[in-house]
């Protein structure tokens, strides 16, 4: 449906995340994956969704001079916001354990920002989901860290994996946003972009 409206455009998804790529396939979109490395650093003064907005926009910068008139570039970033700080991807198994331990029996926010860039426009949106975990035992956390893939995920967990299945006691907002893409908002913004 959306693909028909977008047939005059070239959709570029600048994300190596298999989950985001699958969401775009599930939307029935024809798209290309093009990756250009950026150093994912942000100013310390930024807070909350300002961080993910900044990083999503930062990821679009290497494409600035190469976009063609019919291109729509989509970049995205997800952070976990907990105890007034951003949790990105853990750099070690111990850091992954520490992140999950800090979120045990508490509520945190998952924030995903998406930047839509064309030759003539740029728009960045974000979505926030509140996730509450049960109280984890240390054994449960280590079991997850040792048997799954926390290292490539913000906040050291994937909600669709074992730890989400046994640990999430409450969710306010989009489940898919926690997986890395607020699909409902991406769909709406792509629709709006071509119906202007």
* Residue 50 vs residues 3, 44, 47: alpha-carbon distances, Å: 31, 11, 5
Q: In this structure, are residues 181 and 126 in contact, taking their beta carbons and an 8 Å threshold? A: no
Q: Is residue 129 within 8 Å of residue 174, measured between CB atoms?
A: yes
Catalytic residue among 26, 30, 71, 77: 77
Q: Give yes or no for a contact between 24 and 183, defined as CB atoms under 8 angstroms apart.
A: no
Residue 77 catalytic?
Answer: yes
How many angstroms separate the CA atoms of 20 and 120, rounded? 25
Write out the catalytic residue numbers.
Answer: 77
């Amino acid at each position: 449906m959306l693909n028909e409206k977008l047939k005059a455009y070239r959709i570029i998804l600048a994300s190596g995340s298999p989950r985001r790529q699958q969401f775009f396939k599930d939307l029935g979109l024809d798209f290309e994956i093009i990756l250009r490395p950026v150093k994912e650093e942000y100013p310390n003064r930024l807070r909350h969704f300002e961080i993910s907005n900044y990083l999503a926009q930062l990821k679009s910068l290497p494409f600035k001079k190469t976009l063609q008139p019919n291109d729509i570039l989509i970049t995205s970033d997800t952070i976990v916001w907990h105890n007034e700080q951003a949790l990105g991807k853990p750099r070690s198994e111990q850091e992954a354990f520490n992140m999950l331990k800090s979120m045990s029996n508490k509520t945190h926010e998952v924030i995903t920002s998406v930047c839509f860039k064309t030759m003539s426009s740029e728009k960045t949106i974000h979505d926030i989901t509140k996730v509450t975990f049960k109280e984890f035992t240390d054994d449960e956390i280590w079991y997850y860290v040792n048997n799954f893939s926390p290292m490539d995920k913000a906040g050291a967990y994937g909600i669709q994996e074992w730890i989400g299945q046994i640990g999430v006691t409450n969710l306010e907002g989009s489940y898919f946003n926690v997986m890395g893409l607020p699909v409902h908002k991406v769909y709406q913004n792509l629709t709006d972009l071509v119906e202007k």
